[in-house]
Structure 1
């Protein structure tokens, strides 16, 4: 996240350790996959999930975790903070731990690796959405309306 007034980058605390983040980014490069990030934000036993506006009649679209692509030359810590700020308006103050990853093909057919992180935010209100129509706080012990890949990440988060 950039401070427009001073022109420098303000990174969240990284309890996870900077070397872990650098290693994950290097591994993605070595494996030839584009890095993306997904972020778990929790409030009182519920996780923040985002819902796109597109709707297919008779079908519920799975909800998503906040996330984004990692820009060329951008650190994972910056991408995590930017994803949460841009998609929810919340501010990441700590990247606590890595939860795992999964690989998939983008809509353009390119290999992608989405690395997921548990974060602490400065506060959970107000949520200001940009790319999504709605958000929901879904109890972690309930029925999670997400893909099996995201379900695996949330199980790792709970473990």
Structure 2
């Protein structure tokens, strides 16, 4: 893995999102011995929802790093101790048709054994080499992460 993400890299990612007219969101890859933390939404419909990475919308005057730390804590109660690498991002339209850019970071956390969910139904530690029930965009992010840790 590379060194911690620099303030300069965070600033450039934020600037590019602003220039491109996309609202930034962040996602976190939390790895525990080759398995990543995925969250399950509350599912009441007939179609099984996909799993997602912990994350958050970047608030007004909030940095990307602050949003990563806050989002992981709010969704899982885990404390981020370092943001190691920008793994990748993708753009999509929000339900109200606004352009969004979701930026993903590999993070370290203080511990992985005391997860407390606030907005999700369940969590799973999923092996990176498994058939993960995630969107194709998240699959590409996790594939990039797998290549990063293998190389």
TM-score normalized with structure 1 length: 0.89
Q: Paired residues, what number? A: 145
Q: Which residue of 2 aligns with 1:99?
A: 87
Q: Which residue of 1 aligns with 2:8?
A: 19
Q: Which runs of 5+ in 2 are unaligned?
A: none
Q: Which runs of 5+ in 1 are unaligned?
A: 1-13
Aligned pairs for 1:36-55 within 5 A: 36-55=25-44
How far apart, in 1, do the equivalents of 2:105 and 2:19 lie? 21
Q: Which residue of 1 aligns with 2:65?
A: 77
How far apart, in 2, do the equivalents of 1:74 and 1:63 lie? 26
Residue 54 of structure 1 deviates from its aligned partner by: 2.1
Detail structure 1 runs of 4+ shifted over 4 Å in the superposition.
Answer: none
Q: Which residue of 1 aligns with 2:55?
A: 67
1:31 paired with 2:4, answer no
Whether the 8 Å contact between 1:100 and 1:153 is mirrored in structure 2 is yes
TM-score normalized with structure 2 length: 0.94
Residue 47 of structure 1 deviates from its aligned partner by: 0.5
